[in-house]
């Protein structure tokens, strides 16, 4: 049986999917509050930058993968207007339901579907932009997911991968202390769940760094990939253009 990483642990691939689902089932109700606390509000600026770089225009079609509580889907919907389409997806039902309810509360009705990024239920060449924010690192077969994102993009379409990455070396020790000492305690205090936030910190360390992910995107079919380091590399935005 094939194995993979769940944080710092080595587990069966099927076991990882179950455990990741458990993490996000647990954190869904407090996800937005915890994002604000963990990043000191910076996640809002990172997402706003992603929207700006996307260049999304009125009438375009956007696929938001691992869309969770709907931050990017909402912003994209404002850009594409009534003639465009934003499809809001996630593999986790609790996260997707939370996001759908938030969007409905704001008067936004978007196509919403549970789907696995490694096997997207959409035809080839059907989206102008695909986005995935803070979701790629939880996927078991990242290469397969990136190839699927490339498949569903139109030629010349753009993939936006916003994800935690490798922080600049002078900040490594402070970042490790914050990740492994502060975050689990914050998770316990706010969400009653230290273990899930310990996993999130570990999953960041196991995720490919900036150059490795750039190479993976090129191997998946993206002809040009730019890397935008944000907040000293705490987060990176990878932008891939389909050939």
- What does the pLDDT look like over 145-164, one tens digit per residue? 999 999 999 999 999 999 99
Quote the longest CA-to-CA distance of the chain. 48
Q: Is the pLDDT of residue 20 over 80?
A: no
103 contacts: CB under 8 Å, gap ≥ 6: 70, 73, 74, 88, 109, 110
pLDDT of residue 31: 79
> 232: annotated binding-site residue?
no
Q: Is the pLDDT of residue 46 over 90?
A: yes
Does this model's pTM top 0.75? My answer is yes
DSSP assignments along 56-118, one per residue: --TT-EEEEET-TT-HHHHHHHHHH-TTSEEEEEES-HHHHHHHHHHHHHTT----EEE--TT
> 174: annotated binding-site residue?
no
Going by pLDDT thresholds of 50, 70 and 90, the confidence category of residue 23 is: confident
Residue 106: count other Cβ atoms within 10 Å of its Cβ: 10
Going by pLDDT thresholds of 50, 70 and 90, the confidence category of residue 1 is: low
Contact 227, 214 (CB under 8 A): yes
% the chain with pLDDT above 90: 78
How many CA atoms are closer than 13 Å to the CA of 49, on its beta-carbon side?
19
Going by pLDDT thresholds of 50, 70 and 90, the confidence category of residue 30 is: confident
pLDDT 10s digits, 174-228: 999 999 999 999 989 988 888 888 988 899 999 999 999 999 999 999 999 999 9
Contact 218, 151 (CB under 8 A): no
Mean pLDDT of the chain: 93
> 117: annotated binding-site residue?
yes
> 105: annotated binding-site residue?
no
Contact 130, 159 (CB under 8 A): yes
pLDDT 10s digits, 4-19: 876 777 768 777 777 7
Contact 157, 185 (CB under 8 A): no
pLDDT of residue 28: 75
């Amino acid at each position: 049986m094939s194995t993979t990483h769940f944080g710092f642990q080595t587990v069966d691939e099927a076991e990882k999917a179950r455990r990741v689902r458990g993490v996000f089932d647990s954190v869904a109700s407090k996800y937005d509050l915890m994002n604000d606390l963990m990043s000191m509000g910076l996640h809002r600026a990172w997402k706003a930058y992603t929207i700006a770089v996307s260049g999304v225009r009125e009438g375009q079609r956007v696929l938001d993968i691992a869309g969770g509580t709907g931050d990017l889907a909402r912003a994209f919907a404002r850009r594409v207007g009534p003639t465009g389409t934003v499809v809001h997806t996630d593999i986790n039902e609790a996260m997707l339901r939370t996001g759908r309810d938030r969007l409905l509360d704001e008067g936004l009705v978007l196509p919403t579907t549970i789907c696995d990024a490694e096997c997207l239920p959409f035809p080839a060449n059907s989206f102008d932009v695909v986005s995935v924010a803070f979701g790629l690192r939880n996927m078991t077969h990242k290469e397969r997911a990136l190839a699927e994102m490339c498949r569903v993009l139109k030629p010349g379409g753009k993939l936006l991968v916003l994800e935690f990455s490798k922080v600049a070396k002078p900040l490594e020790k402070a970042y490790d202390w914050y990740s492994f000492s502060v975050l689990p305690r914050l998770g316990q205090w706010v969400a009653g769940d230290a273990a899930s936030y310990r996993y999130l910190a570990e999953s960041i360390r196991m995720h490919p760094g900036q150059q490795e992910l750039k190479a993976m995107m090129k191997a998946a079919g993206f002809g040009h990939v730019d890397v935008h380091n944000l907040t000293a590399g705490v987060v990176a935005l990878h932008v891939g253009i389909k050939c």
